[in-house]
């Protein structure tokens, strides 16, 4: 606890004339659930995309600290970032729709499989043994997320809520040290949200995975996060514990408009 | 009557085996990289000529000749992917198609330069002779060709369904950003698709060299790839098998029972009909694109 795992420092990203991120800095401590909130278009997803290597920011650095090494993520290819143990989910589900739940999760094991093409083609010996080991990890995740029934179903055929769970599961299959969750509860009803919040807490507590969570539902954010960073128009306007942030006039203004902020202060 | 039918069927299936192997390379590349490769027939030519050069020119044993041909085709495929097509990522599909058409002309010219335009006689690799089957005289090499194609296509199917890299290739085809964040190197998957297409082209080239002979006309098989993959579905391995067999048989039956050159047109009649009725083919993915 308390060790810095992800340090974002002065990151700026623009697309043509649009500044998606302006000099964004934040620090995620190991073992925390760190929420990133902000109105639509604030740059939350852009921040995750920079972290997972899908976007290259024009300025700034994103350092990922592990026990034995520190990696600069802004100069690392996305597949390498994944291999470092940074997993993520997407806002608009990006599952492999034509593969089964099991295959989707097994793909999460991709970086951890170590056998040659020839052995894979032959499908015997070490390749098979290894496959079974990975299968065990995957089955554990299936149990954790309660998706046993859907194991062999093609993902495209499943309901939205279940797909969101499968996407979380696929990220977990990487056995990540850092989990980036982009609105895992968007579009869910209260019950589904509660389930998802429970899964995220389980993952955080049982497996000790640090989570960066983008979420719009303030009740959920206040309930489960240790720290909150607030973005607005690409800039950080608040950072602290949920209580500190929810009391901040700048945050209230961004969310509710300036009148509410004045009233709040008065 | 029966004997003619059997004869036509076996020859049709043997030709279909070549079609299927050519189409397999095409489908592999389209499926994982989205590139429509108009040079697939020329890869078949390269495979056939490389094998010819190994066996006839250098006098290698056929197994070494195969290895040489596979090495040549894989290196060529990797170079093409790295030097010509990777820089085209993000360009319009018409631009990419033009690149592959240019590549096709270039490969034809290089082969012409190296080997001339006289047909070459390939030393026999597959067993010769013929057997009697239901009253028809069937050349053994046709049956072996069908078996080889079946085994290779079977291996590819297992590879796609079972192996880590096969599943990774399907994942890349499905969703590239997600594949990247799963730790899958998309460039490596692209390279692998091209390399495997090279391998299937060599096996196809072997069958062509055996059954048809080595000459500039091998590349014409590249054209018939289109009816095969449109029928089977552009991105389906199963589709290439079924499409290859159906087109191969159809051509032979038309030649045997109707004749008059109609057999050369019939694959393209099928192509047009399929595009009208079921544009995504028998096993292809149904894509609805909203613009």
Which domain range does residue B28 map to?
2-277
What pLDDT does B287 receive? Answer: 60
Q: B185: nearest CA in chain A?
A: A79
The closest CB to that of B167, out of A78, A103, A115, belongs to: A103
The closest CB to that of A96, out of B163, B165, B170, belongs to: B170
> B164 to chain A: which residues are within 8 Å by CB?
110, 113, 115, 120
Contact pairs from chain A to chain B, CB under 8 Å: 87
Report CB contact under 8 Å: A53, B180.
yes
pTM of this structure: 0.77
Residue B76 within any structural domain of the chain: yes
Cα(B7)–Cα(A261) distance, integer angstroms: 87
Predicted confidence (pLDDT) per residue in A68-124, tens digit: 889 999 999 999 999 999 999 998 888 988 889 998 998 888 887 765 555 555 555
The closest CB to that of A96, out of B159, B171, B192, belongs to: B171
Residue B227 within any structural domain of the chain: yes
Q: Is the dihedral of CA A227, A232, A234, A237 positive or negative?
A: negative
CA B133 to mean position of chain CA atoms? 28
Q: Which fold has domain A4-265?
A: Rossmann fold (3.40.50)
Structural domains of chain B, count: 1
Predicted confidence (pLDDT) per residue in A23-43, tens digit: 999 999 999 999 999 888 899
Q: Give B106 to chain A, closest Cα distance, Å.
A: 31
CA of A230: how far to CAs of A8, A36, A41, A88, B18, in Å?
Answer: 14, 6, 12, 20, 61
Q: B188: nearest CA in chain A?
A: A79
What order do you get walking across the sheet with A86-88 strand by strand?
Answer: A86-88, A178-182, A210-214, A33-37, A227-232, A235-240
What pLDDT does A266 receive? Answer: 43
Residue B285 within any structural domain of the chain: no
Taking 80 as the threshold, does the pLDDT of residue B162 lie above it? no
> B162 to chain A: which residues are within 8 Å by CB?
120, 123
Residue B162 within any structural domain of the chain: yes
DSSP letter, residue A185: T
- Looking up residue B45, the CATH number of its domain turns out to be 1.10.3470
ipTM of the complex: 0.71
> B166 to chain A: which residues are within 8 Å by CB?
120
Average pLDDT over residues A140-159: 91
Nearest to B270 by CA among B19, B24, B17: B19
Task: Name the pLDDT band for B291 (thresholds 50, 70, 90).
Answer: very low
Element holding B142 (H helix, E strand): helix B140-162
Element holding B5 (H helix, E strand): helix B2-33
Q: What is the mean pLDDT of chain B?
A: 87
User: Which pairs with CB-CB distance under 8 Å and at least 24 residues apart come from B267-270?
Assistant: B267/B224, B267/B227, B267/B228, B268/B227, B270/B227, B270/B231, B270/B246
């Amino acid at each position: 606890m308390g060790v810095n795992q992800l340090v974002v420092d002065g990151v700026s990203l623009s697309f043509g004339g649009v500044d998606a991120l302006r000099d964004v800095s934040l620090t995620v401590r190991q073992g925390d659930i760190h929420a990133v909130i902000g109105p639509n278009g604030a740059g939350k997803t852009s921040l995750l995309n920079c972290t997972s290597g899908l976007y290259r920011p024009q300025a700034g650095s994103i350092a990922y600290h592990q026990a034995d090494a520190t990696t600069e993520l802004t100069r690392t290819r996305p597949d390498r970032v994944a291999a470092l143990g940074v997993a993520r989910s997407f806002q608009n589900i990006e599952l492999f729709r034509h593969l089964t739940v099991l295959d989707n999760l097994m793909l999460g094991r991709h970086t951890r499989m170590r056998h040659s093409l020839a052995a894979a083609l032959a499908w015997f010996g070490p390749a098979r043994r290894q496959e079974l080991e990975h299968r065990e990890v995957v089955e554990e995740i299936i149990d954790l997320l309660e998706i046993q029934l859907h194991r062999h179903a093609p993902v495209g055929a499943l309901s939205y809520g279940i797909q969101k769970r499968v996407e979380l599961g696929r990220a977990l299959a990487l056995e990540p040290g850092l989990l980036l969750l982009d609105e895992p509860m968007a579009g869910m009803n209260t019950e589904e949200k509660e389930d998802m919040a429970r899964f995220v807490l389980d993952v955080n507590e049982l497996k000790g995975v640090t989570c960066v969570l983008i979420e719009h539902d303030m009740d959920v954010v206040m309930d489960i996060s240790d720290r909150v960073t607030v973005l607005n128009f690409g800039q950080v306007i608040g950072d602290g514990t949920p209580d500190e942030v929810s009391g901040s006039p700048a945050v209230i203004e961004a969310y509710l408009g300036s009148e509410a902020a004045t009233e709040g202060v008065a | 009557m029966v004997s003619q039918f059997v004869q036509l069927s076996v020859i049709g299936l043997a030709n279909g085996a070549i079609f299927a192997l050519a189409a397999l390379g095409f489908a592999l590349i389209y499926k994982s990289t989205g590139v429509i490769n108009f040079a697939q027939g020329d890869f078949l030519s390269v495979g056939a000529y490389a094998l010819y050069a190994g066996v006839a020119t250098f006098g290698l044993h056929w197994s070494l000749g195969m290895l040489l041909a596979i090495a040549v085709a894989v290196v060529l495929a990797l170079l093409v992917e790295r030097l010509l097509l990777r820089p085209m990522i993000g360009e319009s599909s018409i631009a990419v198609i033009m690149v592959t058409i240019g590549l096709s002309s270039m490969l034809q010219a290089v082969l012409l330069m190296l080997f001339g335009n006289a047909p070459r006689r390939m030393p026999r690799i597959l067993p010769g002779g013929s057997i009697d089957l239901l009253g028809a005289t069937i050349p053994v090499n046709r049956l072996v060709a069908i078996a080889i194609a079946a085994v290779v296509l079977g291996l590819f199917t297992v590879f796609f369904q079972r192996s880590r890299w096969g599943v990774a290739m399907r994942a890349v085809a499905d969703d590239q950003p997600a594949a990247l964040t799963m730790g899958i190197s998309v460039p490596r998957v692209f390279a692998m698709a091209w390399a495997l297409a090279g391998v299937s082209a060599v096996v196809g080239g072997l069958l062509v060299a055996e059954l048809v002979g080595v000459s500039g006309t091998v590349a014409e098989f590249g054209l018939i790839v289109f009816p095969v993959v449109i029928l089977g579905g552009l991105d389906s391995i199963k589709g290439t098998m079924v499409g290859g067999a159906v087109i191969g048989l159809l051509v032979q039956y038309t030649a045997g029972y109707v004749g008059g050159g109609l057999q050369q047109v019939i694959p393209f009649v099928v192509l047009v009909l399929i595009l009208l009725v079921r544009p995504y083919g028998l096993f292809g993915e149904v894509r609805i694109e909203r613009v």
